[in-house]
Amino acid sequence: MDRRQEAREEIEALGGNDFDDLPIDGSYVMMLASLAEVLHYLDDVRRAARVYEWLKPYAKFIQIAGNSAICGAPVSEALGVAATTLRRWDEARAYFDDAIAQETRMGARPWIAWTLCSYAQMLQTRAHAGDKERAATLLLEARAIGAELGMRRIGAWAESHLDA
């Protein structure tokens, strides 16, 4: 939503104790995964490191809230985002690969599209030899999935990052 200042204010209010007082309940893992995304957006490396460590034990699971009424992406996707924030490139790559494999097995094409975008963003940030080309391939795939599924936002996001 491109509301960085508001996001920063909310994180400051929520993370005043570095998230030590977050409730550990049925939404805990999904909440941590969401925090990983926001902390990446804010480039909050210190807090992202904490969230990363808390998420690691759940790496092979899918995000579930409550009694499974709400299902999210694989936790490994959020770990890939957190590892990107921490500039842990090999870990990020491995987590994104794992997330895409899980999403493919589930047939969760919307999640695949978002993971491809996060993966591409990591590659663009890392900027090793071949990363630009690989990122473009991932973004084109995400854009195609978005177009097929009517996910206009993902298509626009992928397109804007293809120009990067």
pLDDT in tens, 75-98: 999 999 999 999 999 999 999 999
Residues of the chain predicted below pLDDT 50:
none
The pTM of the full predicted model, rounded to 2 decimals, is: 0.92
Smallest CA-to-CA distance from 81 within 103, 105, 49, 113 is with 49
- List the chain domain ranges: 1-88, 108-164
Question: Which pLDDT value is given to residue 118?
Answer: 97
Predicted pLDDT at 91:
98
CA 164 to chain centre: 19
pLDDT value of position 23: 85
**CA distances from residue 67 to 64, 77, 84, 111, 118 in whole angstroms, order as listed:** 8, 21, 30, 21, 28
Short-list 107, 50, 101, 48, CA closest to 76 = 101
Could you give the CA distance from residue 89 to residue 97 in angstroms, rounded to a whole number?
12
Write down the pLDDT at residue 153: 92
